[in-house]
Structures are given as structure tokens and as C-alpha cells.
């Protein structure tokens, strides 16, 4: 059977090379990936809803408040057991994992990633994990796109583009927003905005949204009909909303990483699961709207039905007081990211896109209610409009994707009546947040390790370059205890290089000797026994640490030191040298690959 598959693939590749150009073949594959991403989105969503329906059976519904506490823990335990005993793999989370594959693994994603999130994300969210399904859908589609490109022997640039097509397809299918989905792929995955990349993204996005229409018709995840027109007098309030959005975005990012780092200190996976899971269950028990993705809460807020959105809670008797409602909405903003981080730290599979939408809607809704009830403003502002724009403000700040935020909300409202307030709030939120938080939640960890690709072409090329491929090892090492005679006979005579690394008995790098350093004395045999290596060696102008230095730092070291060769060490031990000429040659070759 395997032999038949190989011969069939070989026949197809030959047929393709004769009948289809590379450009046309990419168009066909992008349509296929868009369709597959749409199917993935539908599958993940339906599996999640199926689990949620099962858990709302009459058997459980009588004790539903109590089960708010236990359901998330059960779901997280099931996911843990699946990873431990079935998949037996450690899985990175969604979009950061995809970005890492692009920057450090040449866009190659493991085959198990095609189905791991497909199984575990619905269990996580279906049992009440406070995360979203967008990132697992994107990761599943991206992995399928990566493996399809490997199957058809496509290069790294095309593979990256097809991963972007999968991301666009997933977002297009989930939100029925094909334009916003394309912008999402470009902003988040740092794809080049050229005709060669735009057409496949467009085809994948349309293919995915048609797939979604086939299964769901015109039904969308956030149905909304715009009723209140934008008033120019509301501009100051949208500016304030943008500032508030920036503050909440910074809070979101910092709390998320602090909690993830705190829980990450618990080395035992099962102990971390129990600790995070019980804390999550406790929070959801007291704040039921935090259960699951939370789109039902968002939809109720868009309909200005905050009583339904807040659900049954300890403060039901006080919900007629609008100030209690505003405080509870503030609580949703503050605690949603805590619930999300606990879900992820416990080993749950999901993303932060839905929590961002949730927090943004609660923020915008509460802000509008606050303004309307303070009694110091003459006009009554539209609560539903501010709920929508609040989502855009938080998306722009947390995800560092202002254009995605603007176009997604514009497409959800089927028009551009709110375009001006969306631009105002998203721009202000993004500008302030990026000042204090240079990278998004998706990219911060990658950026700290130097693994992040950006729209800066030079930075992208340096990130994609492989250090190990430019290390030269044809240098003769000299022991620090050698004398000048040993240097001449065992080093200079046998080497074609004019630089020698000096090491100790444990291979630790100690320094260098240049041929110019010994040229004045190398023919004076009287000094052969008297002069030692330690007497004539010198410190290297810079040292490259293979574990910690990325290409950007390496380039900077060459520029600052003015050296043509720099030594490379690993854990202090000598590895080889990198020459500036070889580094620049490798840079030019990678630049050609990236820009073709």
C-alpha cells in the first residue's frame, strides 16, 4: 500500500510539473487548505457544543451550580490523561507554537498536531475551561497546511504562506469575516503583503467561509444588527475608551504571564493540574459567566441584556442597582484573564482570542453604563456600540492587531458605520499598549528568545538563519600549557589559518593566538621552550555563545568588534569560529529564499 501511495504521488508530481506552474498550484492548494480549515472549525465547534449539551442533561442541571466547580477539573484531567497515555507528546499552545514552527523549524509541524487540538480543545472548553477555540483551530489548520506542503515538496517560503492561508481560513470560517481573516494572517504571522501572497490568502479565506455557509448558513457566532448611528459628539468618549482599552490590555498581558510563570514553578504536571484546576473551579463557581468561551455572555451584552449576561450569582438580589451591575462587569474584566491563565497552566488546550472578546465586551458595556449613569454628561451614548468598540480596543492592545480588530468588528456589523470610532479606539489602545508592552501575548515569549519573525525583512532573514550552518571547525586548537615550539610544529606548520583557539585540558575556551602575534619570534629557536602559550595569547574581541546568541546579536558583535572571525562556545567550551564573509554569504542566500 505504501509503495502504491509513493508511486501515485510521484505520478502526480510529474503531472503537476508538466501542466501547472508553481503559482497556479499554490492557488489550488490554498483553496484546499481553506476548505480543510473550515471543516476543522466546524468540527471543533460541533464537538464542543455536543459536550456542552451532554453536560446540560436533567441529571446534572439540578445541581448545575455545584458542577460549575467540578466540570472544568474533570475536563482538564481528561486532557491530561490523553496527552500522558494516548498522544504521549508535549504540545505547545496554538498560535505561539505555529509562530515558533515558522521561525525555528522552517514551517515544519509534527503530524500529531493535525489532530491533537482537534481532540483536546473541545474537551477543555466543553467542560468549562475559560479559553477560546480560535487558536486550536488555527493550529490544526496550520499543521495540516504544513504537512500538505511537505507532501508536495514545496519550499519554506510557500510552506509559510500556506500556514498563513490556514490561519486566514480558520478565522474566516469562525467569524464569517473573510477580509478580517486575511488581515489577521498578515498582522499576526507577519506575512508579506504582495500579490503573490494576497491571492492565496484570499482564496483560502473565501473557500473557508463558503464551507462555513454550507454547514451553518448565514448563522454567525456574534449576530448583531447595528441600530444606533455614530455621533460626532461621542468622539471624546471613544478616546477615553481607547485609553481604558490600553490599561486593560496591559493588565491582561502582565497577569497572564505572571500567572503562567507562577504555576509553571510547580514541576509536577498532576499537582499543577490539581492546583490550577481547583482555583479555576472556585472562580467559575462564584462567577458562572466565566464558564467556557463566553460568547453567550458577549451576545447578551451586545443585546444590552446584562441581567442574562451576568447569570445566576451571589448578587442576584441587587441587580436592580445599576452600580452593582457595573461592579460585576468590572469583575468579569478582572477575573476572565485569571480564569484563562489557570486553564492554560493546568494543561488545557485553547486560546486567548475569545477571552479578549469577552473582556472587551464587558469593558465597553460597563464603561457605557458608567457614563450614562454618572449624570454629568448631557448625551446618552449607545451601550451596544461601546460594547462592540470595546472588543476592538482590547483586541488591538492585547493582540497588537489593530487592523484585524477594526475590520472584524466592521464585518460583524455588516457595515462601516462604526469605522471612525473603531479606528479611534483601536489606534489609541494599540499605541499606548505597544509603548509599555512591545510585543503581543502571542509573540512575547518568542521575542524574548529572539525567535520572532516580523515585517522587518532584515530581522526576518536573521531570525531564519541557522547558526550551526555557518560555524567553521577547520581551526587547530592549542593547549594553554604548550610552549612556542609546540605552537610552531603542531599549529602553524599544519594549519592554513592565521588564527588559533586556545583551550585548557577540559576544552574550555581561554583565548586566541594570531599568527601576527608570534611572527616576530617564530624563527628564534632559543625562545621555543621559554615562551608559553599563556604569554602570547590574547582575549577574543567578542565570543559567540551558541545557546544564547541569535543572529541579530552575532551581527552586532561583528559590527562592534570589527573582527573577521569570532570564536563560538557552548557552555564555555570551544566549538569553532564564524567568519564574517561566510555569515554575509549565508545572509544573502537566505534573503534570496525569503524574497522569491
| DSSP state, residue 504 | -
Q: CA–CA separation, 361 vs 289, rounded Å?
A: 13
Closest CA to 76 of 250, 302, 270: 270
Closest CA to 363 of 375, 355, 373: 355
- The residue-averaged pLDDT of 301-307 equals 86
Residues 6+ apart with CB under 8 A from 338: 255, 259, 283
pLDDT tens readout for residues 500-519: 999 888 889 988 888 887 88
54 or 453: which leads in pLDDT: 54
Q: How big, in percent rounded to 5, are the helix, strand and coil portions of the chain?
A: 70, 5, 25
pLDDT tens readout for residues 48-59: 999 888 887 555
| CA distances in angstroms from 566 to 360, 491, 501, listed in the order given | 50, 18, 10
Query: What is the structure's pLDDT at 594?
Result: 53
Strand, coil or helix: what is 442?
A: coil
The mean-pLDDT minimum among 166-180, 475-489, 582-596 falls in: 582-596
| DSSP state, residue 532 | B
Q: CA–CA separation, 125 vs 347, rounded Å?
A: 12
Taking residue 106's Cβ as centre, other Cβ atoms within 10 Å add up to 16
Q: CA–CA separation, 255 vs 31, rounded Å?
A: 39
Q: CA–CA separation, 432 vs 443, rounded Å?
A: 18
pLDDT tens readout for residues 126-157: 998 999 999 899 989 889 888 888 888 788 78
Strand, coil or helix: what is 514?
A: strand
pLDDT band for position 537 (cuts 50, 70, 90): confident
The reported pTM is 0.78
Q: CA–CA separation, 152 vs 172, rounded Å?
A: 25
Domains and CATH numbers, the chain: 2-216 (1.10.3080.10), 232-450 (1.10.3080.10), 460-595 (3.10.580.10)
Say how far residue 591 (Cα) sits from the centre of its chain: 24
Closest CA to 569 of 498, 495, 471: 471
Closest CA to 288 of 332, 229, 241: 332
Q: CA–CA separation, 351 vs 530, rounded Å?
A: 68
Question: Do 4 and 140 touch, CB atoms closer than 8 A?
Answer: no
Q: CA–CA separation, 558 vs 358, rounded Å?
A: 48
Residues 6+ apart with CB under 8 A from 194: none
Cell of 123: 474537551
Amino acid at each position: 500500500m505504501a509503495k502504491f501511495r509513493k508511486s501515485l504521488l510521484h505520478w502526480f508530481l510529474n503531472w503537476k510539473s508538466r501542466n501547472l506552474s508553481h503559482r497556479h498550484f499554490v492557488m489550488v492548494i490554498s483553496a484546499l487548505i481553506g476548505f480543510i480549515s473550515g471543516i476543522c472549525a466546524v468540527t471543533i465547534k460541533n464537538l464542543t457544543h455536543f459536550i456542552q449539551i451532554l453536560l446540560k442533561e436533567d441529571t446534572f442541571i439540578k445541581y448545575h451550580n455545584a458542577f460549575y466547580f467540578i466540570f472544568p477539573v474533570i475536563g482538564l484531567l481528561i486532557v491530561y490523561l490523553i496527552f500522558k497515555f494516548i498522544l504521549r507528546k508535549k504540545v505547545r499552545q496554538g498560535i505561539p507554537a505555529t509562530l515558533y514552527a515558522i521561525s525555528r523549524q522552517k514551517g515544519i509541524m509534527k503530524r500529531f498536531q493535525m489532530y491533537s487540538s482537534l481532540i483536546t480543545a473541545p474537551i477543555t472548553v466543553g467542560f468549562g475551561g475559560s479559553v477560546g477555540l480560535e487558536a486550536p483551530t488555527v493550529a490544526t489548520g496550520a499543521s495540516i497546511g504544513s504537512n500538505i506542503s511537505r507532501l508536495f515538496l514545496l519550499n519554506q517560503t510557500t510552506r509559510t504562506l500556506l500556514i498563513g492561508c490556514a490561519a486566514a481560513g480558520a478565522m474566516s470560517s469562525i467569524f464569517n469575516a473573510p477580509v478580517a481573516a486575511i488581515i489577521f494572517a498578515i498582522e499576526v504571522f507577519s506575512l508579506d503583503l504582495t500579490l503573490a501572497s494576497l491571492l492565496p490568502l484570499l482564496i483560502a479565506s473565501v473557500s473557508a467561509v463558503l464551507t462555513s455557509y454550507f454547514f451553518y448558513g448565514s448563522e454567525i457566532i456574534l449576530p448583531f444588527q447595528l441600530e444606533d448611528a455614530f455621533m460626532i459628539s461621542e468622539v471624546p468618549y471613544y478616546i477615553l475608551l481607547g485609553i481604558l482599552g490600553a490599561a486593560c490590555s496591559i493588565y491582561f498581558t502582565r497577569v497572564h504571564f505572571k500567572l503562567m510563570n507562577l504555576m509553571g514553578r510547580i514541576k509536577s504536571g498532576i499537582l499543577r493540574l490539581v492546583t490550577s484546576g481547583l482555583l479555576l473551579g472556585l472562580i467559575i463557581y462564584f462567577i458562572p459567566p466565566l464558564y467556557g468561551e463566553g460568547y453567550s455572555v458577549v451576545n447578551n451584552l451586545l443585546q444590552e441584556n446584562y441581567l442574562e449576561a451576568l447569570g445566576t450569582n451571589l448578587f442576584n438580589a441587587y441587580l436592580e442597582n445599576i452600580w452593582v451591575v457595573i461592579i460585576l462587569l468590572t469583575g468579569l474584566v478582572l477575573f476572565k484573564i485569571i480564569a484563562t491563565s489557570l486553564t492554560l497552566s493546568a494543561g488545557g488546550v485553547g486560546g486567548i482570542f475569545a477571552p479578549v472578546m469577552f473582556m472587551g465586551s464587558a469593558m465597553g458595556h460597563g464603561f457605557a453604563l458608567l457614563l450614562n449613569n454618572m449624570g454629568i454628561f448631557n448625551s446618552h451614548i449607545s451601550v451596544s456600540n461601546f460594547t462592540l468598540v470595546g472588543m476592538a480596543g482590547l483586541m488591538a492592545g492585547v493582540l497588537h492587531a489593530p487592523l484585524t480588530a477594526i475590520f472584524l468588528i466592521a464585518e460583524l456589523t455588516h457595515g462601516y458605520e462604526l469605522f471612525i470610532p473603531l479606528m479611534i479606539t483601536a489606534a489609541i489602545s494599540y499605541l499606548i499598549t505597544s509603548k509599555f508592552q512591545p510585543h503581543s501575548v502571542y509573540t512575547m515569549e518568542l521575542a524574548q528568545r529572539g525567535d520572532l519573525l516580523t515585517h522587518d525583512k532584515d530581522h526576518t532573514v536573521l531570525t531564519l538563519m541557522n547558526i550551526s550552518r555557518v560555524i567553521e571547525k577547520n581551526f587547530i586548537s592549542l593547549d594553554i600549557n604548550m610552549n612556542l615550539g609546540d605552537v610552531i610544529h603542531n599549529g602553524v606548520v599544519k594549519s592554513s589559518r592565521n588564527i588559533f583557539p586556545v583551550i585548557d585540558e577540559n576544552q574550555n575556551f581561554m583565548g586566541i593566538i594570531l599568527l601576527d602575534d608570534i611572527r616576530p619570534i617564530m624563527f628564534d629557536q632559543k625562545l621555543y621552550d621559554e615562551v608559553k602559550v599563556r604569554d602570547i595569547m590574547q582575549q577574543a574581541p567578542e565570543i559567540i555563545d551558541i545557546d544564547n546568541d541569535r543572529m541579530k546579536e552575532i551581527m552586532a558583535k561583528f559590527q562592534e568588534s570589527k573582527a573577521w572571525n569570532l570564536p563560538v562556545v557552548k557552555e564555555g567550551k570551544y566549538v569553532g569560529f564564524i567568519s564574517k564573509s561566510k555569515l554575509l554569504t549565508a545572509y544573502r542566500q537566505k534573503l534570496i529564499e525569503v524574497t522569491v
